[in-house]
Amino acid sequence: MTGGMDGRAEDGGRVYQSSGDQHISEHHHYGGDSGPAGPDSVRRPAVGRAPVVLRDRAEVLERLRAGVAPGRCGEVFVLHGMGGCGKTAVAYALFHHATETLGRAGLWVNAADRASLRSGMLAVAADRGAGDGELLAARNGLRPAADLVWERLDRSAEPWLLVLDNADDPEILRDGSWLRTSPRGTVVITTRRAAARWWPGAELQHIGVLPREDAARILHDLAPSSGTMEQAAEVADRLGRLPLALTLAGGFLSHQVLDPWTMDAYGRQLDEGEPIELIDQGADAMSGEDPRHLVGRTWQLTLDAFGARGLPEAATLLRLLARFAPEPLPLSLLNCPEIGAAVPRARTETALRALLDQSLTELVEVGVRCLQTHGVLLDSVAAATPPADRTALDTTAAGMLGAALPGVPDAGPHDPRLRLFVPHALALLRHVTDSATMGEALTVATRLSTALHRTGDYLSAWETARAAADTAGPALGTEHRLVLAARSRAGRSLFRLGRYEEAERLLRGVRTAQERLFGAADPDTLDTSHGLQLVLGNLGRRDEALALLRSVVAGRRSALGPDHPLTLRSRASLLATLSAEELAAEQPAAGEGAVEEGDVLLSLPEQCVTRLGPDHTVTLGARHNHARALFVLGRFTEAEEEIGQVAEGYRRRFGPEYPIALAARQLLARIRAALGDRDSAVELMTDVVTRRERDLGRDHPFTMASAELLGALRTG
């Protein structure tokens, strides 16, 4: 084929000019039909047991129901109030009315953290008809995720209600423009942040504590045999008439069988001993007449009762849960050997059932079975945990999270279950004070970031690594090995997001520190160097990138051995980097004598198959890059056979929409054009361009580059 074109980065990978060829040297794959079912079941509210009767919310519900009446759309309602006041219960009641009575599509998203919000909103887009390719592009940062979501919401065939629950950090919604209005639906937000500046154009509805009579009725409904309505009212007053505290008290009273408590006895116990404050840490400052600190010994009385009944493990389990975040926590996390360091595994089931029975935690279904515990309760329990117990609990929590993650994260299908662990890993880092345990928790968070990155969720990977390093840095030191490793991981994700200048600054700074502290041959330094050379290549600084890549190959060969996957991976990157002359120079000259197998670059795929197996990620990437090298060398027939096999393997494994599959088909089109089969090349590239236009839009650089190649193929 004749005619050149400027080299461009494609699919976030390295690109070098070679007769207009575009290719990828760092192989990642992204999943297909065999991937795990996701937890993003946005049609099911992530709440536990909803109240049978919603007390004293009639006026608010009447206003909200009017907002979702037939023909009403385009509005945003903000339900605000202190933690534990029942905002989510009100939203759930409206959700049920809108879906069951009015027939609206109900969509429920946890907006407590960036990873959960993004994953949930992309699940909304999928529910509203977005295709796999569009979703993948948004998740990879190749197109604005919020634009895709709201485009699909605006085009919805049926009216909808979208609930953004636990939006206590409005900045998360502002970043990326997640909060918008639509002529096809209504948005409801629950939050502890009441300031109008966060919610321009929205209608704010305050959800406060209950009137005395309604508070008494809640307590009496839960424990009708424990006393009269007046006695219940007196206890409710002591609990500040906060629905959360009333639920905890009612759960306790209703489960005392052998020696039942009365309302009066419970009230006396509340007045005795050192009170424990339930502090609403996430709310805006409130007026003096709104209680900010509510005295609550509800859960402590329950834990004392557990101890008296010979079940101290329930108290330990609750304190262990308080090391995590108030977001859905997969139940599988509690079913691992590591929990035995705090709670005997044989007693974990009994302890959990006790907490569930007393409403101290709840089961929620988000596609996987999870526990969810109220944030106000977790904050209170964490604050009251004896200091002597905290390090052991933190170490156990880190071990549990670590056991839930792959030991060595590999490229693989998108796994939405991974993002469920993000808020818990970061919450644990915020709780830890012991430096050794901080290191363990940071290692787990960095491994989680790596796993997210290698399944294509680059935004979540970057945010997780960045937040983990920022949290641990002040405690461990900004130049601690583990902090630097976390920042290096953040730099790799910035690169994949196409933010090359930021990635270079971050990776160069980390590499400089690592080289000074640990040496140029240290594995961490080499890992950062490998990431940096990818960035430099995409910035057009080929010579600098190639020199750095060669040093990484030499360093990894020396430090890890010639057969280590990282060594083979870096050598595979050479196949995607070198020109024809440089590739020829890599081969032994005739008559030079025996050369070690590992020194023949073009034999790398065979070496990878022997050392790692035919399906290993590094092997697949090496074969892809090898096909590119054969093309550069003019060995078109061999190149066509290899890339054809690779492309078909990608298609079967990941589907036709995935970037790596499209990249392989694009290389195949170039090879066929070089072989003179222009019709087949045009057919292949037409399909690539069609898919990229649909997934990325006409103006995306990847689409434009593919369209330019298609034009060149058509004109000859």
* pLDDT above 90 coverage of the chain, percent: 56
Where does the pLDDT of residue 633 fall: very low under 50, low under 70, confident under 90, or very high at 90 and above? very high
b (16+ CB within 10 A) / e for 631-668: bbbeebeebbebbbebbebbbebbbbbbbbbbbbbbbb
Which residues, at least 6 apart from 388, have a Cβ–Cβ distance to it below 8 Å?
none
Q: What is the sign, positive or negative, of the torsion defined by CA atoms of 234, 238, 243, 246? A: negative
Q: Is 207 exposed, middle or buried (0-12, 13-18, 19+ CB in 10 A)?
A: buried
Residue 254 pLDDT greater than 90, yes or no: no
> Strands 329-330 and 369-372: what pairing?
antiparallel
Q: Residues 187, 76: contact at Cβ < 8 Å?
A: yes
The closest alpha carbon to 694, from 148, 135, 134, 147, belongs to: 134
Q: Tell me: the pLDDT tens digits for 47-62?
A: 766 655 566 688 899 9
| CA distances from residue 18 to 1, 2, 3, 506 in whole angstroms, order as listed | 12, 12, 11, 29
240 or 570, which is more confident: 570
Written as one letter, the residue type at 581 is: E
Q: Residues 263, 239: contact at Cβ < 8 Å?
A: no
Where does the pLDDT of residue 7 fall: very low under 50, low under 70, confident under 90, or very high at 90 and above? very low
Q: What is the average pLDDT score of the chain?
A: 85
DSSP letter for 107, please: E
Q: Residues 607, 597: contact at Cβ < 8 Å?
A: yes
Give the HSE-up count for residue 350: Cα atoms under 13 Å, Cβ half-sphere: 11
* pLDDT above 70 coverage of the chain, percent: 86
CA 684 – CA 661 distance, rounded (Å): 12
User: Rg (Cα) of the chain, in Å, rounded?
Assistant: 29
Find where tokens 């045009």 sit: 682
Residue 292 pLDDT greater than 50, yes or no: no
Per-residue pLDDT, 358: 83
Which residue ranges does the chain devote to CATH 1.25.40.10?
599-715
Give the HSE-up count for residue 402: Cα atoms under 13 Å, Cβ half-sphere: 18
Residue 285 pLDDT greater than 70, yes or no: no
The closest alpha carbon to 40, from 127, 100, 169, 98, belongs to: 127
Written as one letter, the residue type at 449 is: S
CA 685 – CA 583 distance, rounded (Å): 27
- Whether the predicted model's global pTM rises above the 0.75 cut: yes
Per-residue pLDDT, 133: 87
Find where tokens 């405690």 sit: 475
264-269 — which CB contacts under 8 Å span 24+ positions? 264/227, 264/231, 266/226, 266/235, 266/301, 267/231, 267/234, 267/235, 267/238, 269/297, 269/301
58-206: CATH superfamily: P-loop containing nucleotide triphosphate hydrolases (3.40.50.300)
The tokens of 43 are what?
A: 């049609």
Q: Work out the average pLDDT over 338-367.
A: 91
The tokens of 31 are what?
A: 């999943």
Which residues, at least 6 apart from 160, have a Cβ–Cβ distance to it below 8 Å?
104, 105, 106, 107, 128, 153, 184, 185, 186
CA 281 – CA 293 distance, rounded (Å): 10
Per-residue pLDDT, 297: 58
Q: Work out the average pLDDT over 125-138.
A: 91
Residue 17: other Cβ atoms inside 10 A: 15
Where does the pLDDT of residue 34 fall: very low under 50, low under 70, confident under 90, or very high at 90 and above? very low
CA angle 493, 497, 501 (to 5 degrees): 85
CA 389 – CA 382 distance, rounded (Å): 11
194 or 425, which is more confident: 425
Residue 192 pLDDT greater than 60, yes or no: yes
Q: Alpha helices of 196-255 — where are they, by DSSP H?
A: 212-222, 229-238, 243-254
549 or 591, which is more confident: 549
φ, ψ for residue 22, nearest 5 deg: -120, 140
Q: Alpha helices of 633-700 — where are they, by DSSP H?
A: 636-654, 659-674, 678-696
Per-residue pLDDT, 272: 67
49-63, 198-212, 367-381: the lowest-pLDDT one: 49-63
Per-residue pLDDT, 49: 63
Per-residue pLDDT, 383: 84
Per-residue pLDDT, 569: 94
Residue 38: other Cβ atoms inside 10 A: 19
Q: Tell me: the pLDDT tens digits for 397-444?
A: 999 999 999 988 877 677 888 999 999 999 999 999 899 999 999 999
Residue 654 pLDDT greater than 80, yes or no: no
Per-residue pLDDT, 296: 42
Residue 1 pLDDT greater than 80, yes or no: no
Per-residue pLDDT, 258: 53
Per-residue pLDDT, 29: 34
CA 533 – CA 519 distance, rounded (Å): 18
Q: Work out the average pLDDT over 297-308.
A: 74
Q: Work out the average pLDDT over 614-637.
A: 92
Per-residue pLDDT, 298: 65
Top CATH class, 599-715: mainly alpha
Which residue ranges does the chain devote to CATH 3.40.50.300?
58-206
Q: Work out the average pLDDT over 666-685.
A: 95
